[in-house]
């Protein structure tokens, strides 16, 4: 038993930069191999050598305009007062743009400057032509032997056109490296296979294969290899023998990693095992038969970070002979405090948007298992190893993973979650070329974000206990210094979600103390409503088992009930309907969007309001059930 | 004859925006078609509908750490003073990260917090476990029925991983549209075919095919169609019947365009013929059988601009159901005055670099035939139709076509041309991940650019007539307010380039008046040298036929001599050697790089200096011949 629990302690904590430098100096990568291909098939490939033109372009002196070719000397003296008649064949020939111009002709007169002569073969000019006028000299665009493209250049469409014009029908490009990807772990199943009681769907290898493809390499995925030492050794040998590099996906646990690390120690040299970064610490950098083998940790986010930091530069070098370009870095204002440790460099996923002039970055879930937060992320805020944390409001560097243009046209929404936000986010890009980005912190968190200029809108459903009304009182109270409005959203039915068929026969709040409850986080509108209703009913929170267990959204509450780690929890009817749960109605509430008046004129906020009014949205919400869409999209000024 | 010369007058001059709007409203594009494909093959495809998770991830409550699973209630009371012994099977089971946790267990204790017990199946804890600790609840990452991706989303590697984790093994994506590309023109030949005396190599269709491919469509190139009305009609019909859209490449001249425009008028509706933009004016926007047909002008730059403004948004709509994203726009300081006309919107190719804080944009050749300038361009400066011109120094919007990260690491060189600049530009990216960008304006133009902070270095070879020395006097004179240095380049042999075998038996400057000369532009070092030598020899420039004919580089002079539009011209021996010309030595000159001292510390300038010292560079220059590389890369401070 004891060895089982000590394995992780052997990980080293080398810094990211040091680890990569140490690995590369041990590895000694060869120059990439070259290959001759047709120019017409070279899009996206990388030149292996500089390319020099084989012919001039244009190939000869030629007309730059439609008109006539003349000998300039013969036109001397022509003017408005002394028009000159030219004879076809003798004094001029007719030319179209691109036609060759040969001696004795040395100039072109444009069609627009010609006048009809007496005969069909006569033309009158009223101005002399200067030598070489409207003539494209041979090689004007490309001179034979001129360098068209340098080496290590990624070929673009325009390059292909110019290469062909310069007489290049084939050229040397770098060979596409092939990269083996080996998923390992007995608990893994292929996507689509039947799910057992301890299955994990293998997905990392396909993410890695796509990343490898985007890097200009050919991925070569191995079938899942069980936790069997010999099988793993065999897969590694196959991988190294038939490819230029290997990515081996370790399991998430120290136990499973053992197989890879031991096999790599036996077959080759392990240069690094453990890097001072988070997520992604247990990365392995090894060399087998002179080829790089990277052990990628099992959690999806760890795998992604390990890929970006180690696999990407190395594969890029194998594919292009130079290292990957720097990421697209922007400066943004951090919306929340981020604590980190001196022990590691940390990559925090963030949402990014432009709010009132500034780019703002809002941190997402930090867990290594939270793969959805990678999908939702607009970029990574990188906290260097020597920095212990970053204060809210500080300017940070963010490596973007979405185009900045999209972010400029994005509504930043922070507040309470509702299914309608997903539908709105789905509709806005195709209808208005605008985007909708939401982070879920509950109603109060959203209003705080507006106060700090971190969001455009805050979806809220906050009951004012004194007046019994929704939303307007809390906005007035928290944002009194700012001119605010409310964009009306939907009415929603709030209640208790229970398992299908209500097996525990829960009838109302009075039954909660008998069962396992799962609550929402502090500041969530649903929790405020629960507390209000409990007080009215005279029930103490202390009597409810699980009152302290907090989920971030209604959806997460529903998932816990479905998974039987809880019996009941407050939520909204649309979620219960969507997730197939039964529902006990408690109250109806108003779910609206608080917005500073100044943002109402932004084109993406206008697009958002139009989307709220869209009958397609209403139909979709009514199909889910539990929504009242009357007034959706109306703007109410708060004074 | 008369109709031939009037054809162009029928072009309309609709603004770019109006033309596109008018075309789209007449066209009425359908929704893109959808298709079901495997998730593992979906990289880069666009979702046709929102994608909802089919299962939770994780699939069940599971361990977030390696350690043991316990029932939290059984650990109550454990502390440093009251350690608690747990029994395997009864009180705990051993778990790896990701293993399922089932009742009665509800918490995980990390391996690091465990102590060995008496027996092999006993473990001691010194702290109680709180419920749900180190446990990833079912659906923590993805909740079943949650939207994973919206519609119209371009699928990235991370999306593929999450889709698979969410149980999605196949999904609906938009079908790849197929686009016919029809090159027309009897003068066109396929690249690689034998070149006739009036041939033009067909290259636009391949550039367009690559652009189409980059837009996520499948290009379908037709063979070259001769200028034959029926053949063009047939190709158009084939194109429309078997594809979603057609690009027909017209010839460069009005004469050739006629066939396309008449065929399109007969087969369908021509919505627009002629747009107020430059280059690219004679674009055709037509509809045949409900499908868009775009007539692309023949000059490469015109074809590119027409594609970007009309084909790209339309194809993007066919491929994704929404319009192309805005380009990557930056603000840059214009280095030269640009004159334009109210008559059209103009796209000026520019080089862009970061010099002393600012991004600076230097215009390149503006001719529609200058395809190489598209290859060299870092972006386009767009002059709107209502603006007549832009002053040097004004801030302009530049649509970038290279990554801004590359531009940040680029040496901006403006001045005299030499072949060594190409070699340096080829070596720097792979050696130092830096780039070298050069514009050629002659020595004086380069020094002016330094004065105006538009370049990092100026390659110069400027004789001081008074002292007979090179470069330092002129730098002192023109940049007296700035602390300057000279990075030593090469010694070059200057002389007269003549045809192979010297058929006119040119022996020296005294022979120039007898033959057709081609000169360099004012401010070029070669011209200064010529003028100095002519003065010494007592020859008047007025006696030299072609003294006014100016070429921008030595290479262009050589091409003119090779093409027999001139007999001789001054240039450097390396160019004569490379181009296969004979050479009469006149003098030796020094070709160096003027640089403000403040730039010497920039990493890309350091990389440039290292490259100049590189023996590989010296060997390449010596192989060409006519260079003296002694001292190359030495830095001389000018005081």
Q: Do the Cβ atoms of B122 and A1 come closer than 8 Å?
A: no
Per-chain mean pLDDT for chain A: 90
What are the chain B neighbours of A162 within 8 Å (beta carbons)? 203, 300, 371-372, 374-375
Distance CA B248, CA A359 (A): 43
Least Cα separation, residue A383 to chain B (angstroms): 21
- What is the mean predicted confidence (pLDDT) over A26-55? 92
Using alpha carbons, select from B55, B249, B45, B80 the residue that is nearest to residue B157.
B45
What are the chain A neighbours of B375 within 8 Å (beta carbons)? 148-149, 158-159, 162
Closest residue in B to A560 (Cα) is B138
Residues with Cβ within 8 Å of A408's Cβ and at least 6 positions away in sequence, in order, are A354
Q: How confident is the model at residue B186 (pLDDT cuts 50, 70, 90)?
A: confident
Interface contact flag, A203 B160, Cβ < 8 Å:
yes
pLDDT of residue A260: 86
Distance CA B228, CA A30 (A): 54
Q: How many residues does chain A have?
A: 639
What are the chain B neighbours of A198 within 8 Å (beta carbons)? 60, 99-100
Residue A164 has pLDDT above 80, yes or no: yes
Least Cα separation, residue B381 to chain A (angstroms): 18
pLDDT of residue B260: 86
The model's pLDDT over A284-317, given as tens digits with 9 standing for 90+, comes to 999 999 999 999 998 889 999 999 999 999 998 8
Which of B158, B214, B253 minimises the CB distance to A98? B253
Name the residue with higher pLDDT: A142 or B236. Answer: B236
Residue B222 has pLDDT above 60, yes or no: yes
The model's pLDDT over B549-594, given as tens digits with 9 standing for 90+, comes to 888 888 889 988 988 889 999 999 999 998 899 999 999 999 999 9
Which of B5, B159, B555 minimises the CB distance to A111? B5
Q: Do the Cβ atoms of A349 and A281 come closer than 8 Å?
A: no
pLDDT of residue A3: 39
A324 interface with B at CB cutoff 8 Å: no
What are the chain B neighbours of A94 within 8 Å (beta carbons)? 1, 4
R_g over Cα of chain A: 34
- What is the mean predicted confidence (pLDDT) over B362-383? 85
The model's pLDDT over B447-503, given as tens digits with 9 standing for 90+, comes to 999 999 999 999 999 989 888 899 999 999 999 999 999 999 999 999 999 999 999
pLDDT of residue A6: 40
Interface contact flag, A425 B150, Cβ < 8 Å:
yes
Interface contact flag, A369 B403, Cβ < 8 Å:
no
- What is the mean predicted confidence (pLDDT) over A58-87? 91
pLDDT of residue B324: 61
Q: Residue B247, class by beta-carbon neighbours within 10 Å (0-12 exposed, 13-18 middle, 19+ buried)?
A: buried
Preferred mutation among A117, A157, A411, A577 to probe B, highest tally of B CBs within 10 A: A157
- What is the mean predicted confidence (pLDDT) over A348-361? 91
Least Cα separation, residue B388 to chain A (angstroms): 23
The model's pLDDT over B86-136, given as tens digits with 9 standing for 90+, comes to 999 999 999 888 888 988 999 999 988 899 888 889 999 999 998 889 988
**Residue A70 exposure: Cα atoms within 13 Å on the Cβ side:** 31
Alpha carbon separation from A94 to A24, A105, B1 (Å, rounded): 65, 11, 9
Closest residue in B to A31 (Cα) is B430
B369 interface with A at CB cutoff 8 Å: yes
pLDDT of residue A218: 96
Q: Do the Cβ atoms of B269 and A109 come closer than 8 Å?
A: no
Residue A381 forms beta bridges with which residues? A348, A398
Q: Quote the DSSP letter at residue A7.
A: G
What are the chain B neighbours of A156 within 8 Å (beta carbons)? 210, 401
pLDDT of residue B58: 87
The model's pLDDT over B400-448, given as tens digits with 9 standing for 90+, comes to 988 888 888 899 999 998 989 999 999 998 888 889 998 888 899 999 9
Q: What is the DSSP string of B53-72?
A: -SS-BSSS-EESSSEEEE-G
Interface contact flag, A405 B328, Cβ < 8 Å:
yes
pLDDT of residue B436: 93
Residue B332 has pLDDT above 50, yes or no: yes
What are the chain B neighbours of A145 within 8 Å (beta carbons)? 578-579
B344 in helix, strand or coil? coil
pLDDT of residue A8: 43
A549 interface with B at CB cutoff 8 Å: yes
Residue B291 has pLDDT above 70, yes or no: yes
**ipTM surpasses cut 0.90:** no
**Residue B180 is encoded by which pair of tokens?**
């016919």
Q: Residue B3, class by beta-carbon neighbours within 10 Å (0-12 exposed, 13-18 middle, 19+ buried)?
A: exposed
Interface contact flag, B39 A191, Cβ < 8 Å:
yes
Contacts A–B by Cβ distance under 8 A? 387
Preferred mutation among B67, B366, B372 to probe A, highest tally of A CBs within 10 A: B372
B10 interface with A at CB cutoff 8 Å: no
Interface contact flag, A139 B169, Cβ < 8 Å:
no
Q: How many residues does chain B have?
A: 639
Distance CA B369, CA B385 (A): 22
A261 in helix, strand or coil? helix
Q: In angstroms, how far is CA B462 from the centroid of its own chain?
A: 33
The model's pLDDT over A443-469, given as tens digits with 9 standing for 90+, comes to 999 999 999 999 999 999 998 988 889
Residue B195 has pLDDT above 90, yes or no: no
Distance CA B292, CA A322 (A): 42
Return the top range by mean pLDDT from A335-339, A404-408, A539-543: A539-543
R_g over Cα of chain B: 34
pLDDT of residue A404: 83
Residue A327 has pLDDT above 90, yes or no: no
Residue with tokens 């920039």: B602
**Residue A570 is encoded by which pair of tokens?**
């407050």
Which of B149, B153, B210 minimises the CB distance to A157? B210
- Report residue A567: phi and psi, to 5°: -100, -30
B578 interface with A at CB cutoff 8 Å: yes
Percent of chain A with pLDDT over 70: 97
Which of B50, B132, B158 minimises the CB distance to A374? B158
What are the chain B neighbours of A214 within 8 Å (beta carbons)? 43, 157
pLDDT of residue A308: 92
Interface contact flag, B161 A558, Cβ < 8 Å:
no
pLDDT of residue A92: 94
The model's pLDDT over B131-169, given as tens digits with 9 standing for 90+, comes to 889 988 888 888 888 889 988 888 999 999 999 999 999
**Count of CB atoms situated within 10 Å of the CB of A603:** 11
Q: How confident is the model at residue A1 (pLDDT cuts 50, 70, 90)?
A: very low
- What is the mean predicted confidence (pLDDT) over B517-524? 89
**Residue B156 exposure: Cα atoms within 13 Å on the Cβ side:** 15
Q: How confident is the model at residue A2 (pLDDT cuts 50, 70, 90)?
A: very low
**Count of CB atoms situated within 10 Å of the CB of B358:** 14
What are the chain A neighbours of B203 within 8 Å (beta carbons)? 160-165
Residues with Cβ within 8 Å of B347's Cβ and at least 6 positions away in sequence, in order, are B277, B278, B279, B280, B305, B380, B381, B382, B383
> For B108-228, where are the alpha helices, taking DSSP H only?
157-165, 204-214
B169 interface with A at CB cutoff 8 Å: yes
Per-chain mean pLDDT for chain B: 90
Q: How confident is the model at residue A554 (pLDDT cuts 50, 70, 90)?
A: confident
In this structure, are strands A178-183 and A218-221 parallel, antiparallel, or unpaired?
parallel
What are the chain B neighbours of A97 within 8 Å (beta carbons)? 251-253, 298
Which of B151, B206, B322 minimises the CB distance to A160? B206
B321 interface with A at CB cutoff 8 Å: yes
Residue A371 has pLDDT above 80, yes or no: yes
């Amino acid at each position: 038993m004891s060895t089982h629990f000590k394995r992780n302690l052997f990980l080293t904590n080398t810094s990211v930069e040091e680890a990569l430098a140490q690995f590369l100096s041990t590895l000694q990568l060869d120059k990439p191999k070259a290959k001759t291909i047709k120019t017409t098939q070279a899009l996206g490939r990388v030149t292996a050598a500089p390319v020099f033109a084989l012919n001039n372009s244009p190939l000869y002196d030629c007309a730059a305009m439609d008109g006539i070719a003349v000998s300039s000397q013969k036109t001397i003296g022509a003017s408005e007062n002394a028009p000159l008649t030219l004879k076809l064949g003798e004094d001029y020939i007719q030319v179209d743009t691109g036609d060759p111009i040969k001696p004795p002709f040395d100039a072109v007169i444009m069609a627009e400057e010609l006048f009809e002569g007496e005969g069909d073969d006569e033309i009158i000019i009223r101005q002399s032509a200067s030598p070489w006028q409207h003539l494209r000299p041979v090689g004007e665009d490309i001179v034979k032997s001129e360098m068209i493209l340098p080496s290590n250049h990624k070929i673009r469409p325009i390059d292909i056109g110019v290469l062909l014009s310069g007489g290049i029908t084939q050229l040397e490009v770098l060979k596409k490296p092939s990269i083996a990807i080996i998923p390992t772990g007995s608990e893994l199943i292929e996507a689509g296979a039947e799910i057992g009681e301890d299955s994990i769907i293998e997905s990392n290898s396909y993410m890695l294969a796509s990343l490898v493809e985007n890097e200009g390499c050919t991925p070569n995925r191995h079938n899942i290899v069980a936790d069997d030492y010999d099988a793993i050794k065999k897969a590694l040998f196959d991988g190294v023998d038939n490819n230029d590099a290997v990515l081996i996906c370790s399991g998430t646990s120290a136990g499973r990693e053992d197989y890879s690390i031991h096999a790599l120690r036996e077959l080759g040299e392990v240069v690094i095992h453990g890097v001072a970064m988070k997520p992604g610490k247990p990365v392995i950098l090894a060399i087998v038969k002179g080829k790089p083998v990277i052990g990628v940790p099992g959690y999806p986010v760890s795998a992604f970070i390990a890929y970006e930091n180690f696999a990407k530069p190395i594969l890029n070098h194998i594919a292009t002979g130079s290292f990957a370009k720097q990421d697209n870095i922007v400066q943004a204002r951090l919306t929340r405090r981020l604590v980190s440790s001196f022990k590691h460099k940390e990559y925090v996923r963030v949402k990014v948007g432009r709010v009132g002039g500034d780019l703002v970055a809002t941190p997402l879930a930090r867990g290594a298992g939270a793969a959805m937060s990678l999908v939702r992320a607009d970029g990574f805020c990188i906290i260097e190893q020597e920095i212990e944390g970053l204060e809210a409001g500080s300017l940070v560097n963010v490596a973007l993973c979405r185009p900045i243009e999209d972010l400029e046209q994005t509504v930043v929404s922070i507040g309470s979650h509702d299914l309608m936000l997903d539908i709105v986010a789905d509709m806005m890009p195709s209808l208005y070329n605008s985007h909708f980005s939401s982070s879920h912190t509950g109603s109060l968190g959203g209003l705080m974000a507006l106060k700090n200029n971190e969001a455009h809108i805050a979806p809220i459903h906050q009951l004012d206990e004194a007046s019994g009304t929704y939303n307007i009182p809390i906005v007035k109270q928290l944002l009194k210094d700012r001119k605010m409005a409310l964009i009306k959203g939907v009415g929603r039915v709030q209640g208790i979600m229970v398992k299908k068929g209500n097996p525990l026969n829960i009838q109302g709040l009075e039954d909660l103390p008998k069962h396992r409850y799962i609550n929402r986080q502090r500041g969530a509108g649903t929790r405020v409503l629960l507390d209000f209703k409990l007080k009215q009913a005279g029930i103490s929170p202390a009597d409810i088992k699980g009152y302290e267990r907090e989920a971030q959204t209604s959806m997460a509450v529903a998932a816990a009930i479905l998974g039987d780690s809880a019996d009941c929890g407050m939520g909204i009817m649309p979620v219960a309907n969507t997730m197939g749960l039964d529902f006990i109605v408690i109250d109806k509430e108003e779910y609206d969007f608080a917005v500073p008046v100044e943002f109402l004129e932004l084109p993406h906020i206008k697009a958002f309001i139009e989307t709220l009014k869209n009958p397609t949205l209403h139909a979709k919400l009514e199909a889910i059930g539990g929504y009242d869409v009357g007034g959706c999209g109306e703007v109410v000024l708060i004074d």
